[in-house]
Structure 1
Amino acid sequence: MKKVDGHIHTPFCPHGSSDSFHQYIERAISLQYTHLTFTEHAPLPAGFIDTTPDQDSGMDEEDVSSYFDTIEELKEKYRHQITIRTGLEVDYIEGFEKETADFLNGWGSRLDDSILSVHFLHHKNKWDCLDFSPEVFSSMIDRYGSVDAVYAHYYRTVLKSIEADLGAFMPNRIGHITLVKKFQKLYPASKKFTDEIHSILEAAAARGLELDYNGAGVIKPHCGESYPPWEIVERARSLGIKTVYGSDAHTASGIDQGRNAMRL
């Protein structure tokens, strides 16, 4: 029986840990995983300025070739123990679709698997990384006017990511579609945004895309549930959408996080 982790970061993550690839892989093997995909944060699109304090949201493009080469070596080394796939987590940044497609066209032939995620939102001439910190999220609420306004803009942007033309190598899996709920215990929305989420699921189903069923939210102190939670996963599966467990690990110890609280 396959046991998959489809969302794992690496030593190439600028905001991650120094844990080695081997530490990630050996932990996955010890937990009886049969398949894993490394999905390092791709470089942000050309011309986009990272708003995080250390500007460390994605790899430098000069590191991408080395990243791919390293994974190819690991595939061979561990071929009798575990199936390793080469992936990226690609940011969808509204207005930078062409630059993102250009990057994917340049590197996509080396990908086995990939994730398309929304972390950055634009409002009133300012970009924010919505999951960076409670303080950033609070400042977004002030500027957008309400928690609900932030949520609505996030879900609109996720839908746009699914509908975007990112070329032949567009990622096949949509990342943590309820990431906006990372700080929900601090800043709860007034409604569930059911219609918006159903529109996202219907668009994903129509395009044959998968969903990242992400365990990181389970362990986040201000979230306490998977991204997305079970009722959305259930709805997605009813539409024929494949869901793929992802630990979203940024350390070797993060492999398997949240899994015990999820229905796989």
Structure 2
Amino acid sequence: MKIDGHTHTQYCPHGSGDDVQLMIEKAIELGFDEYHITEHTPVPSSFQNALKPDEAVASLSMSENDVDDYIKQMYKVRDRYKDRIRIKIGFEYDYLPSDSKWFKQFLKEYGKYCDTGLLSVHYLEGIGGWHCIDYKAEDTLYGLVNYYGSTEAFQLAYYDTVKQSILDDMGPFKPTRIGHMTLCNKFMQFLNCEDTEKIINKQIEVLKLVKEKNYILDYNTAGLFKEYCGETYPPKHVVEIANTLNIQLMYGSDSHGVKDIGRGYEDYVSTVK
């Protein structure tokens, strides 16, 4: 079965604005059998006030006021295409250690309407507040690498937060698929990221937790097309370790527009399948 497990919609403020129906039409054209709609969850207003730089706030995620409409509209889309492709609906949960209680309440309210989802880390505490690790290379260097003292220390802090997201008890509707496990490498060429012994050991710690919890991994191909990355999340050496642990990986294009649908699927086939 050909599945895309990670896609976004017109509700994403940092996306292309392409209507989800156009993206689904493209997926059908490319022969996908199943399509997961996983829009970013909103984030609490208290967190928005703590995010740096200020300009990043506008590109965060959908408003809380849009969530009900998102659910209703995606249900309509699923019904419209039910005879052509299987559609699952959910969220990419942007884990925030400082707002775990807020997300538990969100899951309690909306989890029952979802049949898919991802658990992802996009934000770390840094200089002056919280910073999005994949917003801009310059901001990641200034706000996070400088805060932690080195690129390696920034990466280790990221993986520790991924571990925390796995361990956090968020109730029965918590997603069990880890989104882009190595997203801290998005700007790897700009930041001179290396897979040091400490980094690899930390990645193994994450994978062992994934296995222990019987979670699965997002095999996210978006990094292949990013200026400073050029590799999947996770890269091949992490996939090899995951395979030895019998951890399942699911292809995710992380599409934010029609042009992204199906990108890198051949890499998934050759590396994972």
TM-score category, normalised to shorter length: over 0.9
CA contact (8 A) 1:46 1:99 kept: no
How far 1:128 moved relative to its partner? 0.7
Q: How does 1:103-122 map to 2 (within 5 A)?
A: 103-122=106-125
Which residue number in structure 1 is paired with residue 157 of structure 2?
153
Which residue number in structure 2 is paired with residue 70 of structure 1?
73
Which residue number in structure 2 is paired with residue 174 of structure 1?
178
Could you say if the C-alpha distance between residues 172 and 46 of structure 1 is closer, same or farther in structure 2, counting changes exceeding 3 Å? farther
Deviates more, 1:142-151 or 1:118-127: 118-127
Query: How far apart, in 2, do the equivalents of 1:244 and 1:21 lie?
Result: 20
Normalised by the size of structure 2, how large is the TM-score? 0.92
CA contact (8 A) 1:218 1:261 kept: no
Please provide the CA RMSD for this pair: 1.4
Query: How far apart, in 2, do the equivalents of 1:237 and 1:110 lie?
Result: 32
Query: How far apart, in 1, do the equivalents of 2:36 and 2:195 lie?
Result: 34
Which residue number in structure 2 is paired with residue 128 of structure 1?
131
Which residue number in structure 2 is paired with residue 194 of structure 1?
200
Normalised by the size of structure 1, how large is the TM-score? 0.95
How far 1:108 moved relative to its partner? 0.4
CA contact (8 A) 1:215 1:248 kept: yes
CA contact (8 A) 1:211 1:242 kept: yes
How far 1:65 moved relative to its partner? 1.1
Which residue number in structure 2 is paired with residue 47 of structure 1?
46
Query: How far apart, in 2, do the equivalents of 1:14 and 1:123 lie?
Result: 23
Q: Percent identity?
A: 37
Where structure 1 has 5 or more consecutive residues not aligned to the other structure, the ranges are none
The amino acid across from 1:214 in the alignment is: N
CA contact (8 A) 2:4 2:32 kept: yes
CA contact (8 A) 2:44 2:102 kept: yes
CA contact (8 A) 2:52 2:128 kept: no
Query: How far apart, in 1, do the equivalents of 2:73 and 2:18 lie?
Result: 14
CA contact (8 A) 2:151 2:193 kept: yes
The number of equivalent residue pairs is 263
Where structure 2 has 5 or more consecutive residues not aligned to the other structure, the ranges are none
CA contact (8 A) 2:36 2:89 kept: yes
Structure with bigger helix share is 2
Query: How far apart, in 2, do the equivalents of 1:90 and 1:256 lie?
Result: 22
Does residue 217 of structure 1 match 2:211? no
Query: How far apart, in 2, do the equivalents of 1:170 and 1:19 lie?
Result: 28
CA contact (8 A) 1:45 1:103 kept: no
The amino acid across from 2:167 in the alignment is: E
Query: How far apart, in 2, do the equivalents of 1:51 and 1:249 lie?
Result: 25
Could you say if the C-alpha distance between residues 200 and 174 of structure 1 is closer, same or farther in structure 2, counting changes exceeding 3 Å? same
CA contact (8 A) 2:8 2:20 kept: no
Which residue number in structure 2 is paired with residue 91 of structure 1?
94
The amino acid across from 1:25 in the alignment is: I
